[in-house]
Structure 1
Amino acid sequence: MKRIVLILMMAVLSLSAATETELQRAYAKEIAFLKAQKEMLQQRLSQVKKEDAARVSSAKKEIASLQNDVLVKTQTSDRLGEQLFRSQQNAENISDDTALLESVALQGQSSLAPYGIKLAIDKNDYPATLNQLFAETLKLGRNLSSVNVTEGSFYLKDGTEQKGKLVKVGNIATYGVAEGASGVLVPAGGDKLKLWDAPASAATATALAAGQMPASLEIFVYENVSKEVEDKADKGVMDVIESGGIIGWVIVVMGLFALLLVVLRGFFLSGAASKTLPVAKETLVELQSKGVEATLNFLKSRKGAAARVMKATVRNLDRDREHVEDIVAEAIMHESERLDRYGSAIMVVAAVAPLLGLLGTVTGMIATFDIITEFGTGDPKLLSGGISIALVTTELGLIVAIPLLLLGNMLNGWAERIKDGMEQSALHLINEYNKQK
């Protein structure tokens, strides 16, 4: 049994040894095959890398060439774009210049038409049109800048028509020379002229008619002959106030009323100021010579603010000084109402007058804008009413307010000085009385 087992084990060992040898051979063959495959793959990979490197290098060269082509074409495109933009600008400039030339030609045609000059516009030859325009304009300018003497007629100041010589200075001024009437002429409406109220212009008209140039030129320049120039009317004070409307009259009435108050207060303060110092001296003399009772009897016969303050002072001389000073201050305070009479009313009018002027300004501007809305701005005469109210009321308000402010403050200062004088006189009286004790 043991022998059988031993034989079997030897057989197994021999078989395993044989198998291991065959496996090693098989593995060796496989490894050799794999190494051959690896070397072949490495060669193939190396070849592929070379081919890819060649392709990449070729592609890069091609890309660089294409980039150069693109850059060249981009530069060409930009250059062509700039040329196109300049061409468009030139076209626009030509169009604008053409429109400008056409506008100048049309404007010249309309400007020359009133003088009887017809300008033919050739749209295909604007330089020729402009040459004609400049030539006609230069010729017209020479005619308008010269002095021409013609026969004609003009109206005198009394409205009668007078025949004589018309000395035209271009188309901006005209002089009339006739027997017994000469001078500068102004438009009278309807392409007519009338003699203007300027006696000094007669010598100028005569000299120009004789072909001479005077030393000084009395001239009236007008825009056109169709619009009449009205004679300037001299405005009085009442006319100025009337042009301000009802607000102007209100300001004037208030100003006159305040002026009356100023006069009344001035007279009142003048009387009070003139009595303060004499009454104080007389009271001191009576007090020093005759005593308190006699002084009170003396002051009863006197009238005025100073006398009343002195009376209150003398009546309380025997009291403590502080008490007497309080009584003096109270007495002066009672007199302040009389001394300040009309002062507040004057200052109120001085403050209200410019406000009324501002109200008139607003009212006048509203009226002016209403007229502009309805009739437009073609005729300035329609706007004169509202403008007069706007300006005149402001002027009247300031004329009333400025003097009243000055006079009112002066009168207030005068009243304060009178009060200070009464206070000083009363204190002086107290001091002198205390010295006698």
Structure 2
Amino acid sequence: MKNKFAPLLYAALVIGVNAPVVAANDIVSQAKTENTAQRSHDAKREAEFKLTEQQLKDKKAQLLAQRNSLQSQADKLSAEFSKNEDSLARLEEKLRLETGSLGEIFGVVRQNAKEIQGDLSQSVTGVDRQTNANVIEEIVAAKSLPSMKQLTGLWQAMQEQVIASSEVSTTNVTLIDGEGRKQTVPATRIGAFGLVSEQGYLQWNNGRKDAVAYQVQPENAPTLNSLNTLENGNVASVVLDPSHGILLEQLALTPTLGQRLEAGGVVGKIILGLLVIGLIIALYRGASLAIARQKIAAQLKNPQQPGNNPLGRVLSVHDKEKHRTVEALELRLLEAVVDEQTGLEKGLSMLKLLAALAPMLGLLGTVTGMIETFQVITQFGNGDPKVMAGGISMALVTTVLGLVAAMPLLLAHNILSSQAENIRNILEKQGIGLVAEQAERESSEAVSAKMVNAA
């Protein structure tokens, strides 16, 4: 068996020794081949680098040339810009000097255009006579000198308003009634002063192109029918508002006496009621005292026949009680005078109470109105005075009503009290005279009786 496998072992040993030699030769050969390829690749890349470097140098030279050309152009343009800037400055100065007067004209034109625009915005000529209003708006909004077309439009607008101010024309307008409904009605425009319909003067709104009737019309206000004579050329007197509606608005804002009294509220009505009651009492008692004075004057002329009057009733008491003693008669007459005084002063205490109560109610209305004013200020602030007008009006009106009611009532009370006092003095004087006569009569009778007894 050993002899059989010996050649095989020998062959294996020979192969194992020669194998590293063969591998080393292959590696060397492969390294040489790769070295040759690498040198070839490096040479090729070096050639490419040299070509790229040359291209970059050419590009750099081209860019430098282009930069120099652009720099030359920039220097040339900068010099030209400086030259043009100096020329422009000289031309602007020349333009400023030459257009100085035109600037003043533009200011005058624009100012006049603003004035005309303000007049047109409130003028009733907007119904049918404002065809050049847009030109006026263009001039007002312009920032440069107006054109000839705009100046012509301004002149035409002025001429149109001058002609319209002398016209009396009838046209149809949109009227808004008190309930907000719109209707088309005929109306007559009286120049630039007013617009008249069947309801009287109308307030024209140029923004909405409609009209509303003024709340309060002036006395003898014209109507559409009354203006027919003007259109026919007949001369007639017409109430005009030269302020283009401002006076008519103020007329609506001016309250009447009834509106002022209405502002006093419930307290004001109570004060007026007290004033009426007090005046009725004063008139009644004044008439009664005047009649009593006349009757007393007539009774003084005929004291022997007592009548139905205060002095006559006092004389009747004397006639009934003259048989009594002086002291009893004096008390009876005093009682009669007191009774008559009560009748003469009847109602005067109520009159005095009303005179004292009226200013107190006025003060109550003042406090109530101020409370209402402060409540309104709390809710809406104090930015709008119209919101606070109601409470302030109530406060002031009630104060005035209280004073106005108290003064005549107090004056009437004093006058009537003086008249009653004069009548009472007359009654007391006559009563004292009667008592004195009774005392003198009794004294004389006593003296006569003594003389008779002595004899």
> What TM-score does the superposition give when structure 1 sets the normalisation length?
0.48
> What TM-score does the superposition give when structure 2 sets the normalisation length?
0.46
